[in-house]
Amino acid sequence: MCVPKERGGMGFRDLHCFNLALLAKQCWRLLSEPDSLCARVLKAKYFPDEDLLNCSLKKGSSYTWQSLWSGIQTFKRGHIWRVGDGSQIKIWEDPWIPSSPTRKVMTPRGNILITRVNELIDAENRTWDEQLLNDIFWPIDVQRIMSIPLAVGMMDNFVSWHFNKVGFFAVRS
């Protein structure tokens, strides 16, 4: 299987990495189709009170779920939240800033009480609260946050794949 195609093989370079990519694809399917039977069953059994990206691996989990959990960890290395209303996105933990190298805020949290992205948005004008941003974040973070466009109307936040212009996960990426 790992033999190059020119020599009659399938051309896979690393089967372990390829397997993780396929498991990450299943994670993408669970995120993009949360109402599917598979997603509902897995949620009921393994993460009823959490979301898929923040679930933990519990003792006694099936081999299938342990494998999927490995795929989730792989997927988390390249996902990013796209800001809609900002209510689900955690400022300090979640990756949501596309122009940041880590996709996260660089400013240390300190003792700041604001936790969600929607608290940084002026609800009346649907713009970033520039004064609040300047009070909390380093200038580089303010610049990066201000460059994130906000939808005019209420739009849900959604998970996207950072390493693809369209935002869809592909095993190849």
pLDDT band at residue 101 under the 50/70/90 scheme: very high
Query: Following DSSP, what letter does each residue of 45-88 receive, concatenated?
Result: HH-TTS-GGG--PPTT--HHHHHHHHHHHHHHTTEEEEPSS-SS
In 97-153, DSSP assigns E strands to 121-122, 127-128
Which tops the pLDDT comparison, 169 or 142?
142
| pLDDT at site 155 | 78
User: Has residue 153 got a pLDDT over 90?
Assistant: no
| pLDDT at site 1 | 64
How many Cα atoms within 13 Å fall on the side-chain side of residue 63? 0
Residue 172 lies in a domain: no
Q: How many domains does the chain have?
A: 2
Q: Which of 77, 105, 139 is the last residue of a domain?
A: 77
For 161, other C-beta atoms within 10 Å of its C-beta total: 18
Residue 107 lies in a domain: yes
> If residue 159 lies in a helix (H) or strand (E), which one and from where to where?
strand 158-161
Which tops the pLDDT comparison, 12 or 113?
113
DSSP state of 118: G
Does 120 lie in the same domain as 57? no
Does 133 lie in the same domain as 115? yes
Q: Which of 77, 104, 126 is the last residue of a domain?
A: 77
User: Has residue 72 got a pLDDT over 80?
Assistant: yes
**Full residue range of the structural domain in which residue 14 is found:** 5-77
Helices and strands (DSSP H and E) totals, the chain: 5, 4
Give the tens place of pLDDT for each residue, 3-51: 777 887 777 677 888 899 999 999 999 999 999 999 999 999 999 999 8
Does 148 lie in the same domain as 93? yes
Does 109 lie in the same domain as 86? yes
Distance from chain centroid for Cα 107:
20
